[in-house]
Chains A and B, each alone.
Chain A
Amino acid sequence: MEWLISLAIGVLTASGVYLTLRARTFPVVLGLTLLAYAVNIFLFAMGRLTVGLPAVIDKTAEAAQYSDPLPQALVLTAIVIAFGMTAFLIVLALKARGELGNDHVDGLDEAPHNNASKEAK
């Protein structure tokens, strides 16, 4: 299971990094989402990987026979925040698309005279 989880985190992170380095806004948004997924799984795995154990300490169970509930709380917080941020980023990307006339992350397109004529309107 460790191999599978670490492979998943690695692939998600690598794809996320690749996509955030793209020139257009939509792949960047997707890349940030993938990075957020990767970090969520990573946080989850930091509570140690366990199978079939209760989340809360049970008085009858032996000591250390529970899965750590704190990373799960952290992941919940992180998911909510990442969700909100992604929504905001999408709206901002749409606003940039509308105002700059293209979806490049660096905004202004290569031919400056186009921008000048747009501004003149």
Chain B
Amino acid sequence: MSNLVAWPVFLPLITGFILILAHMGGIRLQRTVSFLAVIGLVLLSGAMISATSTDQYQVYLLGNWTAPFGIVLVLDRLSALMVLITSILAVGALWYAMTTDTDKKGAHFHILFQMQLFGLNGAFLTGDVFNLFVFFEVLLLASYGLLLHGNGRLRTKAGLHYVVINLIGSTLFLFAVGALYGVLGTLNIADMAAKVAVAPQEDLGVIAAAGLLLLVVFGVKAAMFPLYLWMPSAYANTSAAVAALFAIMTKVGIYSIIRIHGTIFGTEAGELAYYYAPWVLGLGLITLLLAALGVMASRGLREQVAYLVLASVATLLIGVGLMSPMALSATLYYLIHSTLIAGAMFLLADVILRGRGSYEDRFESSPAMPNAILIGSIFMISAIAMTGMPPLSGFFGKVLILSAALDDAWFAVITTVVLVAGLITILSMARTGSLIFYKILPEESVPASERGEPLNRMAFIAVIGLLLASPILVVFAQPITAFTEATANQAFNSAAYINAVLSTPAVTEVNK
């Protein structure tokens, strides 16, 4: 049963290997294999969710070396939730890539896609800091390939920035891990947490510095102020399916802060307990304001969606920075919502771009796109969800986060920033909608060669599918918040995590 932990990591890896062989069999074979693997991942993560429903930890010892000497994979509610969100998003992104032939624009789209999932799931499940670094590199290398998939000058330029800043991030990660190892003598997250609690006074400075250095690294991943400048252009210039999948990439940073910092510098850490939280909260607030301004200043829809993603990340950072189980529960609810809706919005931006022909996604008046009423209504629904207006899930996420902030000393500032940023994004989205869908030029003003293509109905299914997450999150809000509350409580119980990892015995040979 404990093998369940390893499968979400190895399934994409094995699929990637098979895809290299399937490359000779043509695109249809690759698509079949890739899509079946992603569906398999959804089923696996469903099984993981139910396996963790009893608050149990499942620890998988790689090579049967007990922690802290070997590398462990740890499955708890938080990891299971992240893997589930990733695989659902992957189904939508892959479906869109297949139905729009994005995967035909280069040779190895499906292999890179599976390697990306391999890196993501590995990062969500590992219980070892250096192993986390390795999985970060795996997912980054795959993301470099995916980001540059297809061609385009702007894509290459944004890709270069993305690669360079992430390489610097990797270097900082190694500095931080090295410093932590030098002081604590271990790389296992649980063991580190246990050692920080009993660290001598003179070592605390180095540990705190290394922890904040790690926060910088995760801040680069999560696009936290002032490390977000790479993000809008990278997301706006890549292909839509890849951008949709990348909606989870920023959440890897959020997850890492919750997992690494929340465990190592958690309630057990004595003097260093949650010393990082004010940084996360403050920087989250600044990020949110700047993201809202970015939403307003965007010149194209894809850029605007990228800034909306940034705004959602900032809201999540605020939730993490509040450091209470209630706030974390609200954050996780908002995380499910924002990841899936952001994915849908990237796909929708691409649908609009294709429908407008030479006008692409620029905010200019153009002739009406084919099926404008359908696309426009879907755009309105997704804008309502993304900006956090009732009755969709964004509203409930924000209400939960704000009500968790009630007890915080910074309550007034948090509420003001969140509400002002919300107002700015709502205004900007209303302007976008009216520019794209209401101010229509006559059909004849554009030559036929520059008109958009008709709506790709098969591809549109992916948009609708991902958007359905929002009403589902509202209708089933009660069980889902119960789940996120249990998840948050488990994530805050770092003593149980440490105990579960360090006490797992090696498997003894039975069938011999």
Chain A interface (Cβ < 8 Å from any Cβ of B): 20, 25, 28, 32, 35-36, 38-39, 42-43, 45-48, 70-71, 74, 77-78, 81-82, 84-85, 88-89, 92-93, 95-96, 99-100, 105-108, 119
Contacts and interface: CB of A to CB of B under 8 A. Distances in A.
A107 B160 contact: yes
26 contacts: A28-B164, A32-B164, A32-B168, A32-B171, A36-B171, A42-B174, A43-B178, A43-B181, A48-B182, A70-B187, A71-B181, A74-B181, A77-B130, A77-B134, A84-B141, A85-B141, A85-B167, A89-B164, A92-B144, A95-B156, A96-B160, A99-B156, A105-B160, A105-B161, A105-B164, A107-B156
Given A46-B182, A70-B181, A81-B137, A92 B160 contact: yes
A85 B177 CA distance: 19
A108 B164 contact: no
A84 B187 CA distance: 24
Majority-rule SS of B interface residues = helix
Contacts of B163: 85, 88-89, 92
Contact of B141 (A47, A70, A88, A105): A88
A29 to B, nearest CB: 9
A45 B164 CA distance: 26
Contact of B168 (A35, A43, A99): A35
A68 B177 CA distance: 16
B153 interface: yes
B149 to A, nearest CB: 13
A108 B174 contact: no
A43 B174 contact: yes
B107 to A, nearest CB: 15
A110 B157 CA distance: 15
Given A36-B171, A85-B141, 18 more contacts: A20-B168, A38-B171, A42-B174, A42-B175, A71-B181, A81-B137, A81-B170, A85-B137, A85-B163, A85-B170, A88-B141, A89-B163, A92-B144, A92-B148, A96-B160, A100-B153, A105-B160, A107-B156
Contacts of B161: 105
A27 to B, nearest CB: 11
B181 to A, nearest CB: 5
A100 B174 contact: no
A82 B498 CA distance: 32
Interface of B: 130, 134, 137, 141, 144, 148, 151, 153, 156-157, 159-161, 163-164, 167-168, 170-171, 174-175, 177-179, 181-182, 187
A120 to B, nearest CB: 13
A32 B171 CA distance: 8
A93 B159 CA distance: 10
A12 to B, nearest CB: 11
Contacts of A107: 153, 156-157, 160
Nearest to A68: B185
A84 B142 CA distance: 12
B156 A96 contact: yes
Nearest to B183: A46
A38 B168 CA distance: 12
B2 to A, nearest CB: 26
Contacts of A74: 130, 177-178, 181
Nearest to A34: B171
A36 B134 CA distance: 15
Contacts of B182: 45-48
A99 to B, nearest CB: 5
B157 A89 contact: no
A20 B157 contact: no
B410 to A, nearest CB: 34
A85 B179 CA distance: 23
Contacts of B175: 39, 42
Contacts of B164: 20, 28, 32, 89, 105
A7 to B, nearest CB: 17
Given A35-B171, A84-B141, A71 B156 contact: no
A43 B129 CA distance: 14
Contact of B178 (A39, A93, A105): A39
A71 B178 contact: yes
A42 to B, nearest CB: 5
Contacts of A89: 163-164, 167
A68 B256 CA distance: 28
Contacts of A45: 182
Contacts of A32: 164, 167-168, 171
A28 to B, nearest CB: 6
B178 A46 contact: yes
A25 B157 CA distance: 11
A28 B141 CA distance: 18
Contacts of A84: 141
B168 A92 contact: no
A45 B183 CA distance: 12
Contacts of B160: 25, 92-93, 96, 105, 107
